[in-house]
A and B are shown apart, each in its own frame.
Chain A
Amino acid sequence: MSFPWAKHYEPKAPLMKWVDERLPLPRFVYNAVGAGYPVPRNLNYFWNFGVLAGVALMCQIVTGIVLAMHYAANGAIAFDSVEHIMRDVNFGWLIRYAHANGASMFLLVVYIHIGRGLYYGSYKAPREMIWLLGVVIFLLMMATAFMGYVLPWGQMSFWGAQVITGFFSAIPLVGEPIRVWLLGGYAPDDAALNRFFSLHYLLPFVTLGVIILHVWALHIPGSNNPTGVEVKGEQDTVPFHPYYTAKDGFGIGVFMLIYCAFIFFMPNALGHPDNYIPANPLSTPAHIVPEWYFLPFYAILKSFTFNFLWIDAKLWGVLAMFGSILLLFFLPWLDTSPVRSANYRPTYRIFLIVLLIDVLVLGYVGGAEPTARNVIIGQIASIYYFAHFLIILPIVAATERPRPLPNSITEAVLGKHGGGHASGAIAGSALPAE
């Protein structure tokens, strides 16, 4: 779209010509994902995860709509309706397991996608808007996943809803009224279940809308690439089709293999057995834990164990948990280094690897028993998380010495292949006479 050498849509088939003259949809598709969209030639497999996230969303929408044909959002029969799906509906077990494991796959893919953004500086100018929209998508996904998990109305569904809505009561003065308003009652019950079902159906389509903006914003500057050096000329790019359609096709195959391995052979591995017990408001489970994708944030929440200054521990925990996600919005302005890719920022790279380990440790602590030892580990890990984004990043950006960048993508690519005879044919960005 933004590159002058992008190919133009020239429909050969008369049908396509007829449609395109009346509704320029074929041309739009061609320019967005077809041969008319130039993409850097050096993208690695970490660039597959955006499309995989889109595929995961489609799977969730399709399986979700189908499940909604059989599910009943009423406290008395919700759990039974899910068992009806599992036992009586034709292929109901397949669709239910696909939806439950699809949520995990969707979040796994999105976490890797975010990790790519952090490592290669995809959030930096001129791509800040893509990043901001992405954080919005992430928040919508978390809300959708939380509400979806409540719907089967198992023990974890109910108690998870109890805990998460309990956060709001931490807000001074208005907290408790807000919590009661959200629930439509004093504890999760039919009112909450019904409205969660309604919103769980709605939010994925809102997410879809934001994704359209996210991809639109991407197509203005075009994709980032592993060197972080902007596209300089035609030889830096290849058309999206067939090069990246083929690569994405392969990526989708690998994704489906992993997804189906879970659905058919380990469908409950990522879930919690307690959710096969019907919700009982009078009996709290031994350990209330959210699904794995929320564990790091849960660990941060639980790390604030003492009142500090005028704010009590519970409020600190809630503020920190939301803060840990909201700080992502400010990342483009926290990390002011002009170098994008961590491949050329050795100091920053080390801290990023520590962050990855830190998030995995937080995840472990979030799901583990709250022994004194685990609480201490969680507190140290939470310290690092906030320090990384809010203190370390700005300092590193201002003081580090980055490695010298290649002049262009082409130079980096040829450098990888040992230069050889082709390097003489390339003079920086000069186009050969052809």
Chain B
Amino acid sequence: MWEKIKDFSSGFFVTGEPMIYGADVAIVLVSLAIVYVLTRYKKWGWLWREWLTTVDHKKIGIMYIIAALLMLFRGGVDALLMRTQLALPNQHFLDSNHYNEIFTTHGTIMILFMAMPLMFGLFNIAVPLQIGARDVAYPFLNAVSFWMFFFGALLFNLSFVIGGSPNAGWLSYPPLSEIPYSSGPGQNFYVWGINISGIGSTATGINFLVTILKMRAPGMKLMKMPLFTWSVLASCILIIFTFPVFTATLAMLYIDRFLGGHFFTMTGAGNPMMYINLIWMWGHPEVYIVVLPAFGIFSEVVATFSKKKIFGYKSMVFSLILISVISYFTWAHHFFTMGAGADVNTFFAIATMAIAIPTGVKIFNWLFTMYKGRIEFSQPMLWTIGFIVCFVIGGATGVMLSIAPADYQYHNSYFLIAHFHNTLIGGVVFAYLAGLIYWWPKMFGFKLNDRLGKWAFWFWNIGFYVCFLPQYALGFMGMTRRLYTYGWDRGWAPLNFVSTIGAFLMGIGFIFQAVQIIYSIKHGEKDTTGDPWNGRTLEWSIPSPAPHYNFAVVPYAPEQDAWWEMKKKMQDPDYKKEKVELEPIHMPKNTGIPFIMSFFWFIAGFGFTFEWVWMIVVGLIGVAATMFARSFQYDDDYYIPVEEIKETESAMGRVV
């Protein structure tokens, strides 16, 4: 009996690595601490009522952001582990297998469990407020989206202590990811962690598309909406039209693994190249899914902190749409070297170059928004300027990569790694951090400390260049990506060493941000007006933090920069505030079903990962039962009485 348990455990739990044992201990201790704190302060009920069952987009947004920042920490630690191993040649800090698992989880986590949820968090925080809406179109589905992400990410993250992480790269190319070469549960964790979370992502795409198209405040025409909202609209269309491809493709990989299928195997006439095509048909639009909202954030920040209207609004909208459309025609640039022939390679090279055109136009529009403005170097503005410098370099190297024959030399080298980190960190991460700081007061009612934030910015900014500029050079020196070690013979050591220093500088930047958040909770400057930045869009017209119904009175907003225009009117000496009749506000009820259903998906996913059929059945029956319960749930809304609205508003210093 004891033997059986030992045997099972040694395969089930990851053994033999001191770092993993340390992680095991940390996980148990932290979990116990959380349980202790919740019990001691009698907060279980509060947790369930206020957070686990919420359908309030503002709270859902906060939960997304907390989860994403935790994932940023994990993905960042992965990065530091890798850079430590690569600082010098022939090191034994991480063996090959461990290193391979780490670069795989680093990529998967950063893109799918850090960038996407951080982005969805900002969607939730800002979009309904920007369009003058009281909620998203489908609040229940919104909660489902979050919990599916949460449990999918949880499943994926368990892999490093239970069963073993995937180790075939963040896109799991077959045949390497097929059973003959990856026989453990690692690849299954990959498929199910991502697919469960992916259902949530697709649902968010649908949710925000309908919200933006159907729930804008009266008077707000499409061509008058804030540019962040436009960018979210474009991103959602991309999500809807590409995530299903990803879901189906990973499911096919799982069918190969679980049922002995031959979609992408070397035997049975499978075709691995089909996987590569399908996965990049998703993969390329995916990077635009995350970068378009980044561009949207910059449009808001640049206009606000230059105290000037955004330059070329129509052009900006047009370029968003153009980028979205062209992004579907560029996927093969990820495998120019797979031998598709001159016709195919030339087409995709030119389409890829073409995408740089609307992107470049946006940069010029931001510059000319700042031109003849009055620029304030707030934290968000610093991140924006950092972005322009960083992203232009990344975009330029992207154009260099798009030149197919040149790519035959760059492909899969450190030149490529430097390019995509340039655009992902310089573009996406910088933007989301700027957005976080910008909308933080609206979420929590206080600002993040400026001084600590600026230290964080400089460490990130400088650390980035120290880490990644040497990697362009390493690409020219013939260094391939995904090497767990290298020798002294090619002269790669000095640049790798410098690159590692840069990575740690960025890590210090992150620590500054963690300290900044903790410090600001206690000492952050309170936002008493709801409009700490002298903003231009509707979210700044309501108190901070926003009341649960958002707007006591739905605004009439027919102009671009609606709040700015309203403020101008209010400064008019003849301005008379209109008397408004308050009405009861319709709100959705909290419900535990999203949490419970996602938990059953987690059970099923765990079963699928370890191929334990009984667990799969239990999990899926649970999913079906909760869906049924939801279908039979007719009492899912209520009205906030006018008295309560009046009380809430006056408690926040507003007279209605």
Do A and B come from the same complex? no
